[in-house]
Copies of this chain bind each other. A is one copy, B any other.
């Protein structure tokens, strides 16, 4: 039996999420989080660079999955379809964590500082994906555009999937997003708003 409970990082993440959801991000101190996890403030900062980051661990893991898919895609695929394929492959990553993701998203939405952090994470993700596309021979600005568009679709699809009323899995939600993007893309920026279908 060990003096230290296992999975310190996970305990900190869990404690933080619970407290943030309960009292709000700003009303929660790092000392509280650490205490609830049975650890010390100092130890918190050994695992996470700052108080916000505790909600964003896992981003690297997700990033790695996406980049790997891009890297392994068949050589001739079109950029956006490679990106779509990558995002459509992350269902397993989130399947078990939907409830936690819902909580987390609500917490982030409620706090500007956390929104800032989320934005930079997404921007970083897009940049990394663009780099992976360029390594496949995709040129600019196609690489950046495909990645940015892909990230937008992911965010929208992810939010839709988190909605308790949503039917279907994350892959479906994201697939829908990409097909809507296709419609919008056909629609074009410069043309007038089409008449509503109804």
Residues of A within 8 A of B (CB): 76, 78-81, 112, 115-117, 119-120, 123, 137-139, 141-142, 145-146, 148-149, 152, 180-182, 184-185, 187-193, 196
CA of A141 to CA of B185, assembled, Å = 11
**If A81-B190, A181-B189, A185-B188 touch, does A196 touch B120 (CB 8 Å cutoff)?**
no
A189 contact from B80, B120, B190, Cβ within 8 A: B80
Copies of this chain in the oligomer: 2
On chain B, the residues within 8 Å of A117 by CB distance are 116
A120 contact from B119, B187, B191, Cβ within 8 A: B119
Closest chain-B Cβ to A49's Cβ sits at a distance in Å of 10
On chain B, the residues within 8 Å of A141 by CB distance are 180, 184
Cβ-defined contact, B120 with A190, below 8 A: no
Cβ-defined contact, B193 with A189, below 8 A: no
